[in-house]
Amino acid sequence: MSSVLARENVQRAPAALRRFRSGWSGVVLGAGGVAAIVALWWLVVALLTPHNDMAAQFAPQRAFHALPVLVTQDQLLDHVVTSLKRIAVGLFWAVVVGVPVGFAVGRFRWIEQALSPTLQFLRMVSPLSWMPVAVMALGVGDHAVYFLLAFAAVWPLVMSTAAGVIQIDRRWIQLGESLAATRAEMLWHIYVPGIAAHVLTGVRLAIGILWIVLVPAEMLGVSAGLGYLILDTRDRLAYSELTAVIVVIGALGFGLDVLARLAYKRFQAD
């Protein structure tokens, strides 16, 4: 018995070592890619600086030096928290609306036929096109921003959920029906586990869209948020601070995507 366990441990060791090396190689390559982009950024600004004095303000070293100023004088952390709150609210309403609609579209053929043209039409309309309508209907402020974010994020959730329902193995549904499972039991024990991975994929896609729409949406007369901070630094001609805010937006968006990927992998592992 001990010899069998020893052989299994020997076989597992190379696989674990390969995963470890693969993980670290990915980290090293990713860090190298970021360093190369920063170097290219610096080079482009350096080449433009002799011909354009304003270009020097967009240099990476200026942006990184401006970060402490943003934190201490412009309350960067407060703006970040405000933007993340809006992302959370927009995603919440997108899930509340998108998952049931997607489930109905995937579950009932007649609903899919009735709603598909309308959903496809609305999906193709840019969320930013609704900015004047949102302001007139909801006023200037957070409610208009929440609407735009939810409208932008709902479509990946509808499509992913519908695809998940369609791809559920029909044998599981037949098994539940043969055991006389109630609708609630079918929902919680067959449909929810069957579409969970697809919903998480939709959430990840929605977060990416939300982060893109957030900045222009926060230009709707609000007094806080990263989009507002972009306008504020532009109006003050503080271009190094503006560049720093862009870097922060990219870093936060990357972090949110990493968290979404980890949640998906954790679910797949379970």
CA 89, 90, 92, 97 dihedral sign is positive
Condensed to tens digits (0 to 9), the pLDDT of residues 32-71 reads 777 788 778 777 777 777 666 677 777 778 878 888 878 8
Residue 13 has pLDDT above 70, yes or no: no
In the predicted structure, residue 4 carries a pLDDT above the cut 50 = no
Q: How wide is the angle at C-alpha 225 spanned by C-alphas 221 and 230, nearest 5°?
A: 80
What pLDDT score was predicted for residue 10? 46
Residues 164 and 154: their CA atoms lie apart, in Å, by 15
pLDDT value of residue 268: 66
Enter the pTM of the model. Answer: 0.78
Average per-residue pLDDT in the chain?
80
Residue 257 has pLDDT above 90, yes or no: no
Q: Give me the pLDDT at residue 212, please.
A: 87
Predicted confidence at residue 140, as pLDDT, reads 78
Residues near 206 by beta carbon (within 8 Å), at least 6 away in sequence = 91, 94, 98, 152, 153, 154, 156, 157
pLDDT at 259 over 60: yes
Interval 102-137: pLDDT, tens: 988 888 888 888 888 888 888 888 888 888 888 888
Identify the pLDDT of residue 92: 93
pLDDT for 62-103, tens place per residue?
Answer: 878 888 878 887 788 888 899 999 999 999 999 999 999 998
Cβ of 55: how many Cβ atoms within 10 Å? 16
Q: Record the tokens describing residue 171, joined without a space.
A: 């044998």
Convert the pLDDT of each residue in 147-195 to its tens digit.
999 999 999 999 999 888 888 777 777 777 677 777 777 777 777 777 8
Cα distance between residue 63 and residue 46, in whole Å: 14
Q: Quote the pLDDT of residue 24.
A: 64
Mean pLDDT confidence for 201-223: 85
pLDDT of residue 263: 78
* Per-position DSSP letters for 172-202, written without gaps between them: HHHHHHHTT--HHHHIIIIIHHHHHHHHHHH
Q: What is residue 35's predicted lDDT score, i.e. its pLDDT?
A: 79
